[in-house]
């Protein structure tokens, strides 16, 4: 069943019920010129809030679809979305899908050159963008001649674009009569780009539907649930977790901002039951509680039942801290890639909290295996490359058959993640294949060192990278970001690291911020570029 049919069903069954709520707690951002916000007075701040019913959701999607069809768009065309999280985002996405065209979400952090690169790679015909990106689009408008339509989602439309609001308002809200099948192409997502320019990942309607079923199977959303969505919707992680709410017909809140007090207040005021967090946001919430900036007794949080984390390895120490303040929360984690339609191909399960640190077992309707360099399964406990198989595996890297052949083999997706399996069948990530550090012939997996260093009371975040060394080939460097207002010295970290095996102790300690992309992944290429020259290093030499 094409995923668009779920929206049609929800509008018919739950038409007058709320589907989506958008909250923008930062008044300064309102200069961007969005429409129809309600100013809500809260203590201690003001916030802006909008909401939409399921019928309005479907109507807006149909109006956009009919506009695009009227302009000659059809199956096979590609329509890009460059928007911050907002109430318009998902109706636009589904409006595109209803035409039979492909939705192409773009990372809102892309530079002008990256936007042009992705538009060209995906062969896009239309660009739908918000006010935050008007300057970037203006600077490349002459360089993207294949973009036939530029739709502006905001007020005060620039002269080089057309108004989304004005043009869709007069279009029919009747469902377009475009036949769709499970095997039709549906969307192109882009890889995170942490190792260079992103690749274009092609998915079908069948893959999107599996993502809905996987999420609902794993987390059991009911129509009484309310999901707090904070990560960017251009990424598969945020959207595919929302797909559980979509399939169950339950509402969700889009929060524009990640400050700890904003998250806790949204959970309280909107009576959120399920929250998906990235590791840094969970750490920030705990830090704010421990500093006394958030007093949990001031909020209504009894209904909050599930906190789950994904997009990166989860330090067991973080969950131990979390359960101290939220002892009644179920905890879960999922593993996935954009190439496997986001989270869920590996799943821990709330009943397996005793296995914190593992990413879990094969998810609903997924298969997994761990293989050596020759593609042969490794023995239990040995490290190899994690592979996954299921209907959610991408169709291909669009316009890149060479890269497709490297990652897709006999129906298996080679993830590039090194992993091991324990005696109970649970999978543990060891590290990215490309991030393994080989020092003196010994394989070092940075995640193991990072997890250990994060247990230090002063450490907020840490990234371990390899630096060139004329004798050992590579040596390990730990970039450590300290908690606000907390100090630590090189000697303290050195003493703490003495609990590690000697070969795992970092050779260099660097106190600096740890950069992460919007989906929470550490941007190690930036750190390698910054520090491979050995500039501004606080060195800690250990015996070899």
As a whole number, mean pLDDT of residues 211-217 equals 96
What's the alpha-carbon Rg for the chain, to the nearest Å? 23
Backbone angles phi, psi at 268, to 5 degrees: -70, -50
Whose CA is closest to 350, among 319, 391, 312, 389?
Answer: 319
pLDDT for the residue numbered 259: 92
What tokens does 65 get? 């679809």
Average pLDDT in the chain: 88
d(CA 382, CA 376): 12
Residue 517 phi, psi (nearest 5)? -80, 175
Domains of the chain (ranges, CATH numbers)? 4-257 (3.40.50.12780), 305-432 (2.30.38.10), 436-539 (3.30.300.30)
pLDDT at 472: 66
Which residue from 410, 426, 239 is spatially nearest to 338, judged by alpha carbons? 239
User: 473 φ, ψ to 5°?
Assistant: 90, -60
Task: State residue 431's pLDDT score.
Answer: 66
Which range among 377-381, 419-423, 435-439 shows the weakest confidence by mean pLDDT? 435-439
481, pLDDT greater than 70: yes
Q: Give SS3 for 85.
A: coil
Give the pLDDT of residue 25.
84
> Quick one: pLDDT at residue 473?
67
Going across the sheet that includes 342-347, the strands are: 38-41, 46-53, 18-24, 251-255, 226-229, 274-277, 306-309, 330-337, 342-347, 361-362
Between CA 531 and CA 510 the distance in angstroms is 9
What phi and psi values does residue 155 have, to the nearest 5 degrees?
Answer: -95, 165
More confident residue, 17 or 235: 17
pLDDT at position 31? 40
Cα–Cα distance, 209 to 341 (Å, whole number):
10
pLDDT, tens only, 7-28? 999 999 999 999 999 998 865 4
Question: Which SS3 state, helix, strand or coil, does residue 140 take?
Answer: helix
For residues 395 and 388, give the distance between their C-alpha atoms in angstroms, rounded to a whole number: 14
Q: Is residue 435 very low, low, confident or very high in pLDDT (cuts 50, 70, 90)?
A: confident
For residue 389, what are the CA distances in angstroms to 33, 103, 219, 275?
44, 24, 21, 27
The pLDDT of residue 367: 97
Closest CA to 48 of 64, 63, 33: 33
Write out the H or E segment, with its range, that includes residue 126: strand 126-129
CA 521 to chain centre: 9
| Distance of alpha carbon 482 from alpha carbon 480, whole angstroms | 6
**Quick one: tokens of 148?**
């036939």
Under the phi-then-psi rule, with left for phi > 0, alpha for psi from -120 to 50, and beta for the rest, what region is 520?
left
pLDDT at 113 over 80: yes
pLDDT tens column, 55-106 = 999 999 999 999 999 999 999 999 999 999 999 999 999 999 999 999 999 9
Mean pLDDT lowest for which of 364-368, 434-438, 540-544? 540-544
d(CA 158, CA 433): 45
Question: Which residue did the predictor score with more confidence, 44 or 273?
Answer: 273
d(CA 93, CA 246): 13
- What pLDDT is attached to residue 305? 96
């Amino acid at each position: 069943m094409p995923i668009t049919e779920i929206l049609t069903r929800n509008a018919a069954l739950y038409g007058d019920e709320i589907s989506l709520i958008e909250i923008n707690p930062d008044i300064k951002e309102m200069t961007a010129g969005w429409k129809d916000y309600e100013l809500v007075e809260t203590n201690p701040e003001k916030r802006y809030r909008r909401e939409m019913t399921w019928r309005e959701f479907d109507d807006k999607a149909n109006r956009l679809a009919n506009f695009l069809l009227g302009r000659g768009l059809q199956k096979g065309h590609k329509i890009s979305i460059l928007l911050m999280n907002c109430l318009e985002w998902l109706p636009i996405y589904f409006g595109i899908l209803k035409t039979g065209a492909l939705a192409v979400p773009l990372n809102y952090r892309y530079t002008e050159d990256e936007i042009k690169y992705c538009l060209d790679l995906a062969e896009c015909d239309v660009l739908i963008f918000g006010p935050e990106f008007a300057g970037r689009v203006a600077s490349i408008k002459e360089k993207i001649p294949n973009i036939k339509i530029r739709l502006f989602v905001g007020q005060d439309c620039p002269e080089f674009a057309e108004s989304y609001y004005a043009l869709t308002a007069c279009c029919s809200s009747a469902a377009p009569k475009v036949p769709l099948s499970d095997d039709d192409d549906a969307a192109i997502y882009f890889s995170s780009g942490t190792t260079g320019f992103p690749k274009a990942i092609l998915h079908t309607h069948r893959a999107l539907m599996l993502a809905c079923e996987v999420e609902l199977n794993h987390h059991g959303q009911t129509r009484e649930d309310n999901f707090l969505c904070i990560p960017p919707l251009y990424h598969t992680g945020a959207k595919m977790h929302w797909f559980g709410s979509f399939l169950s017909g339950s509402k969700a809140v889009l929060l524009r901002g990640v400050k700890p007090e904003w998250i806790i207040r949204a959970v309280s005021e909107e009576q959120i039951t399920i929250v998906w967090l990235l590791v840094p946001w969970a750490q920030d919430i705990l830090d704010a509680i421990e500093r006394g900036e958030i007093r949990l007794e001031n909020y209504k949080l009894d209904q909050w039942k599930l906190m789950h984390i994904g997009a990166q390895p989860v330090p067991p120490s973080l969950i131990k801290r979390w359960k101290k303040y939220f002892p009644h929360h179920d905890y879960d984690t999922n593993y996935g890639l954009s190439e496997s339609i986001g989270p869920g191909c590996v799943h821990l399960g709330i009943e397996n909290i005793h296995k914190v640190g593992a990413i879990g077992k094969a998810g609903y309707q997924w298969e997994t295996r761990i293989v050596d360099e020759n593609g042969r399964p490794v023995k239990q406990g040995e490290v190899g490359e994690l592979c996954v198989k299921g209907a959610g595996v991408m169709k291909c890297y669009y316009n890149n058959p060479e890269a497709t052949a490297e990652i897709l083999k006999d129906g298996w997706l080679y993830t590039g993640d090194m992993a091991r399996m324990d005696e109970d069948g649970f999978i543990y990530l060891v590290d990215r294949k490309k991030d393994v550090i080989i020092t003196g012939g010994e394989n070092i997996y940075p995640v193991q060192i990072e997890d250990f260093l994060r247990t230090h009371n002063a450490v907020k975040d840490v990234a371990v990278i390899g630096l060139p060394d004329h004798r050992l080939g590579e040596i390990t460097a730990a970039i450590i970001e300290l908690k606000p207002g907390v100090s630590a010295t090189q000697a303290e970290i050195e003493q703490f690291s003495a609990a590690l095996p000697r070969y795992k102790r970092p050779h260099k300690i660097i106190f600096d911020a740890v950069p992460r992309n919007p989906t929470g992944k550490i941007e190690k290429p930036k750190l390698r570029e910054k520090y491979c020259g050995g500039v501004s290093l606080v060195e800690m030499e250990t015996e070899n």
